Amino acid sequence: MKLLKLTLNNFGPYFDNQSMDLDVSDNAPIILVYGENERGKTSLLRAIRWCLYGEVHNQGGILMDEREFANYDARDRKEPFNVSVELEFEDQGVKSVLKRWMKVRENELEDTRIEIISRGVDLRPNSGNPVAERDIPEQISRMLHKDISDFFLFDGETLTRFEQRLRSAETSAALVRTSIEKVLGLPALQLMSRDIEALAAEANKEVQRVAKKSAENEKVLKDIDACSTAINNKQNDLVELRKIGKQLEEKNLDLEKQLAKVDSIKEAFHERKAIRDNKSDIQRDIGEIKEQIKGRISESWWAPAMPMLKRKSSEIDSMLSSNSQLLGQINDLQRKKIDLQQQVSTKRCSSCQQVVNDEQIRNAEKQILEIEAQLGSLPIPINNVDDVAFTKRQLSDFLEDSGVEERLRELDQDVLKRELRIDELSNKERALTEVLAGNTLDIAALESQYQRASEFIRDSEKEIEKKEFELTELKNQLRILQNSLNRETNESSPIKQEATLLSTLEEVLRDSLEGFRHSMRERVGEEASEIFTQLTTEPDYNGLTITGKYYLEIVDSQKRIISRRSAGAEQIVAMSLIGALVRCAVRQGPVIMDTPFGRLDTGHRRRILEWAPTIGTQVMLFVQSGEFDRERDIKFLGNKVGREFRIQREASNRSSIVGANYG
């Protein structure tokens, strides 16, 4: 399976549509994604997991409430919106698009304030029909099974858990071991072997029933009976041993639960720290916004009076304009009056100088009176125009920056949104603080008790292994006896032929299965040891050795097992196991590592970077500046980087993905 494109819509901190082209060549399989803490690297990993499997566990292994994936900015729209992740990929030469989505809306009554209205998942191969929704999980499982995805898509912070789980005697260890065998392709062979064994047992019973009729088979039958009794006894021993083992495990279970509590306490500490960091980021944002508010109001402190000042300014404008019209009107009337007065006194027309008669003079006198009346009815013009114009100029000083009100309102809203988010985070922080305050565990004592109990369980497991070996020997003996019974009896019947065939098949399959399991385990051990030697900077470490349960022990140059391991060493061992499993896996998939270098020093970091391009055909590394300095570290990846992205901070809860171009 190879990822080609990832598109997120309102998922986590990614507002609206954001996408990443992930197609890389085998020559440059590395995809680097840079992002600081709390920016959304883990959200990307969660988005991929959610899209593939419809569920995501947090770093503490707890199933996450998917409503938490709804983007905060999209919530602000106050209307239903889609949260979706779309993954384009290629598997066995077929390109497909997998899209998982949910439609959500705000609901104050829900504890997450989000309600899911509808949801769905689509899988569309480029050629052929869309896959029915109920068949999608199976289709995805065929490509990258959920149980084994931990080995392909993992969070560096939880890396050491694989090894811890393998060492534990609890069910989770068995699950991890089963998952490992799934990666290696063992279950198909196991199933076949089990079926053949059951069929052979049935056929052999029938053969014995027929053989009892003949006296010549008496000795062989007696031996078969003795062998069967021994097998029964051995099986009873095993049941007894397993019972004791179970009792021990039950005793240990309480310790494990308490240790799980330790994990959850560590998780709570981690989560609380993340919340506090997030809060302080938001506080810093608020501080920055308030600085903008202060700056704005300081530059334009008169802003509250601006509407009133604008009104005044426009009143002055209209007053000056009316005054100018009035003066024009008065001038026109006065000019006309002077002309008429001249006509009356000279008895000649003022424009053409022709003599006017008496009636025309009377008319002129009448018009003079009308003009005087008009002038008398007009308002008195402003006599201090200069003063008014000065006031107008003063007012215009106030009106330069007219966007203050709008900007201040926006900034206030930005602050409010963030304060609301801080309230939510504070509630979560309070709940976590209560959890942490109730912690009275003596972690050191618990770990030592757990260590002792685990040693007991390991001893009993060794005893079980021994008994299982003896049982296998007895079963082989029984098979030989049954085969001899088949040979000794003259009678030839189809059931005898069937029994012989099935017994032979069972033997071949059991040997093959054990041989395959053994050789795969050896191969995983060798590959892991080779990777470990490549990765470790400790000169005294000679490599790794693998146990029957896939637990990897560090071996020093004196061939001694190193029992105490640092967190960093634990991470290198886990990474070696993952690298080995990916190399030996029956189907290849993308490898995604989130914050893989967190616990590692520069020496180990360099070695992992040099090794990373060899892990698979598509390797995504999500890194932060504290663990990866591009200028310093990119050279360790050689020319193997196919794509680079940067998660950019837009606001405290909002990020965007941009293609990083470094020329």
Partner 1 sequence: MVDSNSDNQNTTESEETRSVFGASEEGNRAIQYLVEEKGWFQDERAAFRAALAYGAAKKIEPTVGGKYKSKWNIGTLEQAGRIRTLLIESGFTKDPYTLVNAIGDAALKEMYEKAKAGYTLSSILFDN
Interacting residues toward partner 1 by CB under 8 A: 287, 290, 293-295, 297-298, 301-309, 312, 391, 394-395, 397-398, 405, 408-409, 411-412, 415-416
230 versus 415: smaller Cβ distance to partner 1: 415
CA 188 to centroid of chain Cα atoms:
32
Least Å from the CB of residue 282 to partner 1: 14
Q: Which is nearer to partner 1, 154 or 398 (CB)?
A: 398
| Shortest Å distance, C-beta 279 to partner 1 | 17
**Residues 418, 578: Cα–Cα separation, whole Å:** 41
Shortest distance, CB of residue 294 to partner 1, whole angstroms?
5
| Residue reference for tokens 């810093």 | 284
C-beta of 81 vs 398, nearer to partner 1 = 398
The rounded distance, in Å, linking the Cα atoms of 608 and 611 is 5
**Which residue, 284 or 518, is less far from partner 1 as judged by CB?**
284
Contact 289, 414 (CB under 8 A): yes
> 74 and 13 in contact (C-beta within 8 Å)?
no
Q: For the CB of residue 297, give the shortest distance to partner 1 in the complex, in Å.
A: 6
From the CB of 320, what's the least distance to partner 1, in Å?
A: 16
Query: Is 102 within 8 Å of 82 (Cβ atoms)?
Result: yes
**E strands of 496-572, at which residues?**
541-546, 552-556, 561-562
Q: Measured from the CB atom, is 225 or 315 closer to partner 1? A: 315
CA 377, CA 455: separation in Å to the nearest integer? 116
Please say which residue, 418 or 604, places its beta carbon nearer to partner 1: 418
Distance (Å, whole) CA 485 – CA 63: 57
3 state SS of 58? coil
Strand 81-91 to 2-11 pairing:
antiparallel
Q: Which is nearer to partner 1, 307 or 515 (CB)?
A: 307
Q: Return the number of the residue (302 or 450) whose C-beta is nearest partner 1.
A: 302
Beta bridge partners of 18: 8
**Minimum Å distance from CB 420 to partner 1?**
13
370 alpha-carbon distance from chain centroid: 90
The single-letter code of the amino acid at 626 is: G
Q: Which is nearer to partner 1, 191 or 308 (CB)?
A: 308
Q: Which is nearer to partner 1, 410 or 522 (CB)?
A: 410
Q: Closest CB to partner 1 among 172 and 283?
A: 283
Give the shortest CB-398-to-partner 1 separation in angstroms.
7
**What is the spatial order of strands in the sheet that 552-556 belongs to?**
541-546, 552-556, 561-562
413-429 burial by CB neighbour count: b if 16+ within 10 A, else e? ebbebbeebbeebeeeb
CB of 323: closest distance to partner 1 in angstroms? Answer: 19
Considering beta carbons, is residue 296 or 654 the nearer one to partner 1? 296
Q: How far apart are CA 562 and CA 32, in angstroms?
A: 34
Smallest distance, partner 1 to C-beta of residue 319, A: 14
Sheet strands side by side (includes 30-34): 114-125, 94-106, 81-91, 2-11, 14-21, 654-659, 641-651, 30-34, 619-623, 591-594, 153-155
Nearer to partner 1, 302 or 516 (CB): 302
Buried/exposed 6-20: b ≥16 CB within 10 Å, e otherwise: bbbbbbbbbbeebeb
Minimum distance from residue 389 beta carbon to partner 1 (Å): 14
Smaller CB separation from partner 1, 202 or 315: 315
Cβ 79 to partner 1, closest distance in Å?
24
What's the min distance (Å) between Cβ of 312 and partner 1? 5
327 token code pair:
């003066």
| C-alpha closest to that of 509 among 234, 223, 198 | 198
Positive or negative torsion for Cα 489, 494, 495, 496: positive
What does the angle CA 290 – CA 292 – CA 295 come to, to the nearest 5 degrees? 110
Separation of alpha carbons 404 and 396, rounded Å: 15
- Rank residues 306 and 505 by Cβ distance to partner 1 and give the closer one: 306
Interior angle at CA 82, CA 77 and CA 87, nearest 5? 140
Contact criterion met (CB below 8 Å) for 323 and 381: yes
What's the min distance (Å) between Cβ of 277 and partner 1? 22
Q: How far is the CB of 527 from partner 1 (least distance, A)?
A: 59
Minimum Å distance from CB 654 to partner 1?
Answer: 22
Q: Report angle CA 640, 643, 647 to the nearest 5 degrees.
A: 130
Contact of 608 with 535, CB cutoff 8 Å: yes
